[in-house]
Amino acid sequence: MRVLMVSDVYFPRVNGVSTSIETFRRTLREQGVDVRLVVPRYGDEADEAGVVRVAGRPVPGDREDRMVGWRAMHRAVLEAARDCDLIHIQTPFIAHYAGLKAARTLGLPVVATYHTLFEAYLEYYAPFLPAGWLQAQARAFSRRQCNALDAVIVPSSAMQQRLAAYEVSVPLHVLPTGIPTAQFASGDGAAFRYRHGILSTRPVALFVGRVAHEKNIGFLLEALVHARRLRPDILLVVAGEGPAMADLKAQVKTLGLREAVQFIGYLDRRQELPDCYAAADAFVFASRTETQGLVLLEAMAAGLPVIALSEMGTTDILAPGRGAISPPAEPQAFGAALGDFLNRPSAWRHLADEAPVFAGEWSDGAMAARLAWLYRELAGLKIASERPSPAAA
């Protein structure tokens, strides 16, 4: 079976959508699914078999992203889809319309993954418009796009419920992105600390993700103030880059946290990121808009306990209470929980034991098997085996 994935974003742009695409692309091969990509060109990326790059220009105000040409994207998608069995759209911008048009022209089934809760993001990027009006527009936009498809994939049950509330009427399939558990279990924490000048005895709390306002990193900084009352030597490491960096650095200065926070930028996923997870004592996360929260599972796969707010998509991961704790959504309570965790490691040792076991239930191979089954069902192809069990849904 051959599937065309279409997206407005892909590596070298680092985010959850790029990670999801690459994870499924790699693991679907083992399920007999050949994945072809049509994605933006960011610079001088090397040619790669099965990947079609469409030229674009930088998005105004965002040097990381690219806006591809409308006609060029439509032509590339139509040409690449001619010998495919199904089109899988990954983003709701130009890629969505190019994928939908090609699918209807060629008579192919078309599915999309709803990665991003735009309703919750718009207030950060258009604060000059009324919040209620923006939310209504986002819901109507999502409803129109989703109902034009044959099915929609959502990464969490919270997103399934949200789209149902939008009156999306096509089938909604909960199918999270899996993680390569073995990759994150082999990090060298001591080497990472040495490279970044972090003492081996210093307690480290880690955040990994895009440094954007919707990630609620400012909450973590406020919580850090309270955690330092219990562990004055704590260090918060922020791994990532993004548009909120300047504001966060200003907040660090205002709160008197210059010696307690270290921004280290993006990390290579193959080695640097696993090393980073292995170097930390706890993973902290406060986003209220996540549709899944892959980084929580990556941390758990590394044996790193998670302390995070249970909001939206992260609830599926945090609700079982295995390898993680969910303090109240208040900086003082969150900071107190973090400080207590660091001060009483023996009392919380079970979290480190539970984390990799729980993460293993969300493996990339298991999720790829479920996606391959769905593809074949939508394409009307013969399904040789029983439907994989939705263990992590």
CATH number of the domain that residue 167 is part of = 3.40.50.2000
Residues 145 and 235 in one domain: no
Nearest to 276 by CA among 253, 242, 299, 255: 299
The domain total for the chain is 2
Stated as kind and residue range, the H or E segment containing 174 is strand 172-174
**What pLDDT, on a 0 to 100 scale, did the predictor assign at position 123?**
57
Claim to verify: residue 93 and residue 126 sit in the same structural domain: yes
Q: CA quadruple 124, 129, 135, 141: dihedral positive or negative?
A: negative
- Tell me, yes or no, whether 55 and 137 share the same domain: yes
Helix H or strand E encompassing 273: helix 272-279
Q: Residue 390: inside a domain, yes or no?
A: no
Statement to judge: residues 106 and 119 lie in one domain: yes
pLDDT digits (tens, 9 = 90+) for 23-73: 999 999 999 999 999 999 999 999 999 999 999 999 887 788 999 999 999
Query: Is residue 392 domain-resident?
Result: no
Percent of the chain at pLDDT > 70 equals 95
Q: Mean pLDDT across the stretch 280-294?
A: 93
Phi and psi at residue 97, in whole multiples of 5°? -70, -35
Within a domain: residue 128?
yes
Instruction: Please name every residue paired with 51 in a beta bridge, in sequence order, or none if there are none.
Output: 37, 48
User: Is residue 384 in some structural domain?
Assistant: no
- Indicate if 233 and 331 belong to the same structural domain: yes
In this prediction the pTM is 0.79
> Strand, helix or coil at 1?
coil
Q: Give me the domain span that covers residue 265.
A: 181-360
pLDDT in tens, 303-317: 999 999 999 889 999
Asked, for residue 386, whether it belongs to a domain, the answer is: no
In this model, does residue 105 exceed pLDDT 80? yes
- Which pLDDT band, with edges at 50, 70 and 90, does 388 fall under? confident
Does 387 map to a domain?
no
Please check whether residues 125 and 173 belong to one and the same domain: yes
Task: Find out whether the peptide bond into 12 is cis, omega within 30 degrees of 0.
Answer: yes
Q: Are residues 130 and 207 in the same domain?
A: no
Same domain? 170 vs 200 = no
CB 176 within 8 A of CB 367: yes
**Residues constituting the chain:** 393
pLDDT tens sequence across 150-173: 999 999 898 999 999 999 999 999
Residues 284 and 344 in one domain: yes
Could you tell me whether strands 51-59 and 62-68 are parallel, antiparallel, or unpaired per DSSP bridges? antiparallel
Q: Give the pLDDT score at 57.
A: 93
CA-CA distance, 231 to 327, in Å (whole number)? 17
Q: Do 280 and 341 fall within a single domain? A: yes
pLDDT in tens, 234-262: 999 999 999 999 999 999 999 999 999 99
Q: Which amino acid is at 169?
A: S
Burial of 243 (0-12, 13-18, 19+ CB in 10 A): middle
Inside any domain, residue 385: no
Give me the mean pLDDT over the 179-206 stretch. 96
